[in-house]
Each structure stands twice: as structure tokens, then as C-alpha cells.
Amino acid sequence: MPGITTAERTISLIYDLTQARLKTLLASWGEKNFRVDQIWQGLYKQFWQSPEQFTTLSKSLKQKMIAYLRFSALEPVRELASKDGDTIKTLFRLTDGPSIEAVLMRYEQRRTLCISTQVGCAMNCSFCATGQMGFTRHLTSGEIVEQVIYYARMLAKTDEKVTNVVIMGMGEPFHNYDATMQAIDILNDHEGFNFGERRFTISTVGLVPMIYKFANEKRQINLAISLHATDNALRSSMIPINTKHPVEELIAACRQYVAQTNRRITFEWALIQGVNDSAQNAKDLADMLHGLLCHVNIIPLNPTNDFEGQASSINQALRFQAEMESHNIPCTIRLRRGIEIAAGCGQLASTDTPL
Ligand code: SAH
């Protein structure tokens, strides 16, 4: 096609394009700028899925879009809903074969999505179902964006909207930093989906150099750190990357982040019976976080096949919480939503149960 460069021929998934890239592409096709707005709004306000739905576009433009762009990279192959219907988990097959998962959680006024950034994960955390799978590949920014648009489209049918997005699904977002940030930027675009940065939370295993980079960018995205242990030997046994970025370096990076951004950090703590749930564990954690603008989120362990640990009892979780609060560290216990539908990280993609 005249005016199309090799680079543009290789562009495929429409959600991979920033608005600026879409503009360049359409200009190379000899199209006027207002067409960009029409397409952008069709994608991010109407959640249209196929070129035929873009009724205001000319036939020739639609034909080019069909020839050069893909409108979906995610095929929903399995969907599980909790009994009350408030939690929905979807397994998506990617064009090249592997699967990822994402979850919608309705809770009071919130409509929170938990989305993935990689197929599998390279971090190999012992207690994590995704970690146990190993790493296949990074998702592109468009594959990350499309998970959100999929649920936005589903919710629009009942006049509901996505209110929060947590990047806590499969994968380590700071290992796929650029694609994750580009996805957030595309979803944040004010002329499109217009989803504020403050409504995103990124959870990282603690890739220290990326925490410094993220701090420098002064974004308004919430940051959560998977801490789970204060002691290096224990943390390394659960989270192998801790041998490269030990806990003191991680906490130093977190302190720097708070100093630079003045934003509160969430520390995640998967509570495992007899491993990290004692009063002494809580006290060590409180000492480590002393003076840091933060919040602790306790998640009773979600049992997985290849990990022997068990979840602590609710009473133990309440004692841990009380100990944290006695040191003036705000602490919440995260409710385990969707356990009955294997909505814990990586748990759907790693089961073979047919629907
Ligand atoms: N890779 C990122 C985000 C994905 S996991 C990270 O490590 O933060 C999201 C959260 O779920 C992390 O805090 C992770 O440690 C936790 N998690 C993983 N498997 C779990 C399990 N079996 N039970 C409880 N929490 C788990």
C-alpha cells in the first residue's frame, strides 16, 4: 500500500498504538486528523471491537484497517464467575497460543480489575502459581490494554465502569516496565479511556533499580511491594530475586521513593502459618518500616500445588494486624475473593479443569 513504511506494516494490534502512533499511521494513509479522533473514541469510549462497528469511517479506511491492524489479541476461552457473580475470572488465549488470566472484582461501589503483564513469570517465587509455571514471554502494551477494555465493554452493558486496576495478575510488571507504562499511558489518555493514574496499583516483587526509575518518573500510580519476610534467608527462600536485591536495599529504595514522591507505599505480606505470622515477625516488620509512609496488606496464603505452606488462621491474621497497629502502622487483611473460582494469581492458567 502506498505511503506505508515497513515499520507500519509490522504494526498489528490496534491497542498497541498510542494516539500519536495512530496519527502517524493515518497520516501515512493520507487520512485526515479527525479520523484519529473517531477511531480513538470508538476504541476507548464505545469499546468497539471490529472495523465494521466504525460506521462513520469511509469504506476504504475500514478496508485498510482490516488489512493492516488486528482488533483483538485476546480470545476469552474460559470464564468463571463466583456464586454471587461479583467476581469473574477470564482465561484468554493469545494469538500465538499461550494463555493469561485477568479478574474482575465487584465490591460495593468498586469495580476492580486484576490484570497480567507477562505469560508466566521469571521470578520463580515458591508460593506463587505463576512463578511455578516459569516464564514464556512479555505481553505487549496492547495485550495489557485489551484486558482492561474487555472488562470495560462487559461492564458497560450494565452501565458499570471500571474504577480501579491492580497490576497483580500473572507476571512481574517491573520486568516488563516499558510495555506496562505504555499501557497505563494509553489507558490514561484524556481523549480516550481517561483512566487516572491514581486508580492504578502496580505490585512488584522488588526490582530495586526499577523502583528508583519509577520514583524518578514521579507518576501518580500506586506502588505495592511484595515483601512477605524481613529476614534475607527466609525472603530468599520464598522470592529468589531477593538474593540479588536484598531486603535492606529494597527498603532503602522504598524510602527514597517516598521521599521523592511523598506517596504511601503498600507492603504485601502473604501470611503463612508458622513461617511469617508470629508476633515477633510482626514486630520485625514494624521495626523495618518504622517512620516510612506506608500501609501493610496481609493476604492469607492462597494454597498452590507446589508449595507446602498453609494459610494462617483468621485469628492469627487478626493478631498480626493488631501488633502492626500497636506500632502505628496501618494494616488491613485482604479478603480472599474468588478463591472458589481459582482467582488467586496464576491459578486458572495452571489448572486443566474444563468448564
Ligand atoms: N509479580 C508481582 C505481581 C503479581 S503477584 C509481585 O510479585 O508483586 C501479586 C501479589 O500476590 C504479590 O504480592 C504476590 O506475592 C502475591 N501472591 C502470589 N501468590 C500468592 C499466594 N499463593 N498466596 C497469597 N499471595 C500470593
pLDDT at residue 287 in the model: 97
| Cα dihedral sign, 122-175-346-268 | positive
pLDDT at residue 180 in the model: 98
Strands 118-120 and 135-138 turn out to be: antiparallel
- Measured by CA distance, the residue closest to atom 14 of ligand 1 is 226
> How far lies 276's CA from each of 145, 238, 331, in Å?
36, 11, 15
pTM here is: 0.94
Q: State the first-to-last Cα distance of the chain, in angstroms, to the nearest integer.
A: 44
Q: What are phi and psi of 138, to 5 degrees?
A: -75, 150
List the catalytic residues. 101, 345
Per residue in 75-85, pLDDT (tens digit) is 999 999 988 89
Q: Kindly give the parts of the chain with pLDDT less than 70.
A: 1-11, 335-355
- Which one, of 7, 25, 29, 28, lies nearest residue 17 by Cα? 25
Cell of 232: 534475607
Q: What is the dihedral of CA 114, 241, 257, 267, to 10 degrees?
A: 50
pLDDT at residue 339 in the model: 54
pLDDT at residue 355 in the model: 27
Identity of the residue numbered 279 = A
- Measured by CA distance, the residue closest to atom 19 of ligand 1 is 128
pLDDT at residue 304 in the model: 87
Q: Name the residue of 132, 345, 348 whose CB sits within 8 Å of the most ligand 1 atoms, as the mutation to test its pocket.
A: 345
